[in-house]
Homo-oligomer: A and B are copies of this chain.
Amino acid sequence: MSTRGEETREKIRAVALALFQEKGFDGATMREIAAEAKVATGAAYYYFPSKESLVLEFYARLQNEVDEKLSAALEGHRELRERLDAALRLKFGLLRPNRRFLGALVRAGLDPENPVSPFSAETTTLRERSIGIFRRTLEGSDVKIPADLAPHLPRLLWLYYMGLILFWLFDRSEQQKRTDRLIARSLDAVATAIKLSRFRVAAPLRKAVLGLLSDLEGDPV
């Protein structure tokens, strides 16, 4: 890939993300993106195999930003619920301006025929980095997590996070305020559950959850 190609690609990407934010995924057309980037439609498809793949590009950049800003966001928080809250606020804060087109990614992955899935092997790296965010969030907290559960908890929290994103995408309330409430409320439940997990009575449940997780591990979710 030459420098010129690199520049063209970059131009198309930048224009696309701007238009996605402005008009949403369906509202922004490939013709328009190409025109505004001053290339032919075909050129856009030379660099990006599909419209969805442009969104995937966005997601990778977002993950970089989260990685960079996490330490600052967690600064000064030791309590588990506070730390989780800070991490989620950071993630959702960056997602928020892009809700209008983020659904496109999930939509693409939901089609069993579509190879561009956010859960595919190609996106394993991204997924693991996202899980890593929760590992870092848990590590600095003051809560004792049972040894058997500890290594699996980040992935479990990531699944919870995926659930929140999904709810947020569906959420048609004004400014998605219902999602804000859901996050606050569910964080109470999640933090409470983690704190209770070390009790004797919770052992069978912990065992069941661990069996579930070890079953999923290895393959991409």
Binding site for B on A (CB under 8 A): 24-27, 99-100, 103-104, 106-107, 109-113, 117, 119-120, 163, 166-167, 169-170, 172-173, 178, 181-182, 185-186, 188-189, 192-193, 196, 199, 201-202, 204-205, 208-209, 211-212, 215-216, 219, 221
Contact = CB atoms under 8 A, between A and B. Distances in A.
User: Can you tell how many copies of this chain the complex includes?
Assistant: 2
Contact of A212 (B25, B163, B188): B188
Nearest to A110: B103
A100 B168 CA distance: 25
Contact of A24 (B99, B113, B167): B113
10 contacts: A25-B111, A27-B113, A99-B112, A100-B112, A100-B113, A107-B107, A107-B110, A166-B166, A170-B221, A182-B216
Contact of A208 (B169, B185, B221): B185
A181 B212 CA distance: 8
Contacts of A26: 111, 113
